[in-house]
Chain A
Amino acid sequence: MRITIDRDRCIGSGQCVMTAPGVFTQDDDAVVALLPGQEDGAGDPRVRDVPMACPVQAVTISGE
């Protein structure tokens, strides 16, 4: 699985962090970031729900 984040779109809602806290975080500006080493989703099934949870389509997932 590959997670792509669009930091320019992000509005800092925190939905991604709430949904999959082991994979997503926010940087000091409260903009989305991926936790180091977790860019492949870390096998967390909740990651699949993040694209729908994000209010501005800033997160996309490709691959299995």
Chain B
Amino acid sequence: MTETDIRPTGSPDLSFPQDRTCPYQPPKVYADGRGQGPLSRVELFDGRPAWMVTGHAEGRALLADPRLSSDWGHPVFPVVVQRTEDRGGLAFPLIGVDDPEHARQRRMLIPSFGVKRMAAMRPLIQDLVDRLLDDMLEKGPTADLVSAFALPVPSMAICELLGVPYGDHDFFEERSRDFVGAATSAEADAAFAALYGYLHGLVAKKQAEPGDGLLDELIARQLEEGALDHNEVVMIALVLLVAGHETTVNAIALGALTLLEHPEQLEALRNDPGLISGTVEELLRFTSVSDYMVRMAKEDIEVGGETIKAGDAVVVSISLMNRDAKAYEDPDTFDVRRNARHHVGFGHGIHQCLGQNLARAEIEIALGTLVTRIPGLRLAVPVDEVPIKAGHDAQGPVELPVTW
């Protein structure tokens, strides 16, 4: 990265990320840059210039390019959110490492997320969703859809998948809620320490008395390969917990909000439940709950008529790639009948979401059941009064007051 490079495209003054104003639309200021080509210039909070990739084809090519690194441990890896500036030298498995380290870790985990395994989780998720809705209907006719519904679904699903003993659910859920919902980094650190300690003990317990969850399989696989790396197993569990939690909560809550704001689409879905899987893909495209991904170039890369130089920071805008008119007709229209294929809501390349098929099952069952069981569901406050997350978080409502 050299300060003297002059790159004429875009507005280097635009600071990234910006907050959304409408919960399901990309911030308007980014959209203004859409006409300028597949790449533009932005500035990170610490003043570092970055490329913002907004073209669908160019972004996919870049995400599949091994010259673009995800090595969070690199001393000058770009920092987008101030609270993550000090990562304390912790190694982040999967999401924060490049191949070949990444491939080794991913290979150990994919059996637990395979298509067949996820199909087997469906009845469990359905049962959970039914119970949550029974509860909500009994207490109704108002609720906060986030805390009563969107939050417990992924939280319980991930406990189930990891093999967290049932008796520990409450502790585990509370700490993970504190962790992802923390207002300050001190609060997040405290919750992180509690979770780390808990998982550390759990791994030791499972080593002595194996069960049949993901953690048990991971321990078995590592022992098969040689030695158990206790810290790695704990860190993988933490990454799964964080990555699988907040994103899915928001996908369910923002999905419900988007449907409620498009009544004719909601009606179409209610009349034809077969539309649910297409609806979920379109929601993933349209809402882009994970708004962006961060990378650093390891070598010079030519793309879209520009040269990304070695060392440059790159933010890949999921929300704008998903709204690229070259890839989707009427990209700003929410249409449950469209084919939203090749959306990048789960990313692209070797880091494409490990939990995507679990997330699909959760969102599909949660929203499909919600709209059929509570046909009169509506917002309890005007939509512009729904509080939403800041631009650097997973996108979605903080709370979603509903009535029926």
Interfacial residues, chain A to chain B (CB-CB below 8 A): 11-14, 17-19, 25-26, 28-31, 49, 52-53, 55-57
Q: Are B349 and A28 in contact (CB under 8 A)?
A: no
- Asked if B341 is at the interface (CB within 8 A of a chain A CB), the reply is yes
| Interface contact A17-B349, CB-CB below 8 Å | no
Q: Select one of A17, A26, A55 contacting B348, CB under 8 A.
A: A55
> Can you name 13 A-B pairs with beta carbons within 8 Å?
A11-B110, A11-B352, A12-B106, A12-B111, A26-B116, A30-B113, A30-B115, A30-B116, A52-B342, A53-B341, A53-B342, A55-B64, A55-B352
A11-B103, A30-B110, A56-B349 given; name 11 further pairs at CB < 8 Å: A12-B354, A13-B353, A25-B115, A30-B113, A31-B110, A52-B342, A55-B63, A55-B64, A55-B350, A56-B350, A56-B352
Q: Is the CB of B64 within 8 A of A12?
A: no
Q: A55-B64, A56-B350, A57-B64 are in contact. Are A14 and B341 (CB under 8 A)?
A: no
Size category of the B interface is 20 to 34
B15 CB–A CB distance under 8 Å: no
Taking a contact as CB atoms closer than 8 A, the residue among A14, A49, A53, A57 that contacts B114 in the complex is A14
Interface SS of A by simple majority = loop
| Contact among B112, B115, B347, B354 with A17 in the assembled complex (CB-CB below 8 Å) | B115
Cβ–Cβ contact B111 & A30, under 8 A: yes
Residues of B within 8 A of A26 (CB): 114-116
Residues of A with C-beta under 8 A to B169? none
Complex Cα distance A44/B353, Å? 27
A30: chain B residues at CB < 8 Å are 110-117
Which among A13, A49, A57 is the interface contact of B341 at CB below 8 angstroms? A49
Interchain CA distance A18-B357 in the complex, whole Å = 10
Cα distance A12–B116 in the bound complex, in angstroms: 11
- Residue B265 CB within 8 A of the other chain: no
Task: Tell me whether A12 and B342 are in contact (CB under 8 A).
Answer: no
A28 in contact with B341 (CB, 8 Å): no
Query: What 10 A-B pairs come out closest when comparing CB atoms?
Result: A30-B114, A12-B110, A55-B352, A30-B110, A14-B115, A30-B111, A17-B115, A26-B114, A55-B348, A29-B111
Chain A CB within 10 Å, residue with most, of B63, B110, B117, B348: B110
Q: Are A29 and B110 in contact (CB under 8 A)?
A: yes
Q: Give the one of B113, B115, B347, B352 with max A CB within 10 A.
A: B115
